[in-house]
Amino acid sequence: MADSVRLALSKAISDPRPPKPSFNNIDERIRYLHWLGEMSVRLKRRIPDYQSRIELLETIWYESKRAGLDPALVMGLMQVESAFRKYATSVVGARGYMQVMPFWSRVIGDGDAKKLFQMQTNLRYGCSILRMYIDMEKGDLYLALGRYNGSRGKPEYPNAVLANWKNWEYTPPR
């Protein structure tokens, strides 16, 4: 990995801002609140605890927007990667909601892979890494998702994420 990429990713994950969205106008805030309510209903079966669910959704919104990603895409990826389980661990050692590999904590973080089980850390790493891969692939989401999963060139993973993305799309009320 080029030093410039490593530095940019390190800077992206070290930003200490809390996951609280800000809005330019009241209409944006209202759209966000409608989204939050709708996604809370959809996610309730998977995460029954209201406070945990709202904190996760607020963090998904914040980190996805911060990385220039659609929150529905991030949720589709999370559904495929961990089924929204905070402590999910894959057979190859990927951790948390977005199944971030521990080596990323050494490459762009402080080396503490245990932090990958922290909600904000996991989403910040995952969204930043996905954004980097999308940029590397010049916007080709299919190839970027393959890179994210380590299955570049194989259709199963990108197709699963893209299909699940549709489950989390949101259309605001009129």
pLDDT above 90 (res 1): no
* pTM of the complete model: 0.89
In a domain, 96, yes or no: yes
Residue 172 lies in a domain: no
Positive or negative, the Cα torsion across 89, 35, 138, 158? positive
Residue 44 structure tokens: 């309730």
How do residues 4-42 score in pLDDT, each as one tens digit?
666 666 766 666 555 677 889 999 999 999 999 999 999
> Domain with 108 in it: what CATH number?
1.10.530
Number of domains making up the chain:
1
Closest CA to 98 of 68, 60, 47, 139: 60
Q: Which domain holds residue 134?
A: 3-167
pLDDT, tens digit (0-9, with 9 covering 90-100), for 69-80:
999 999 999 999
pLDDT over threshold 60, residue 141: yes
Bigger pLDDT: 92 vs 14: 92
Average pLDDT over residues 87-97: 96
Between 21 and 107, residue with greater pLDDT? 107
Residue 173 within a domain: no
Asked if residues 53 and 43 have their Cβ atoms less than 8 Å apart, the reply is: yes
Helical packing angle, 71-82 and 141-149, nearest 10°: 30
The whole-number pLDDT of residue 21 equals 79
Length of the chain: 174
pLDDT at 157 over 60: yes
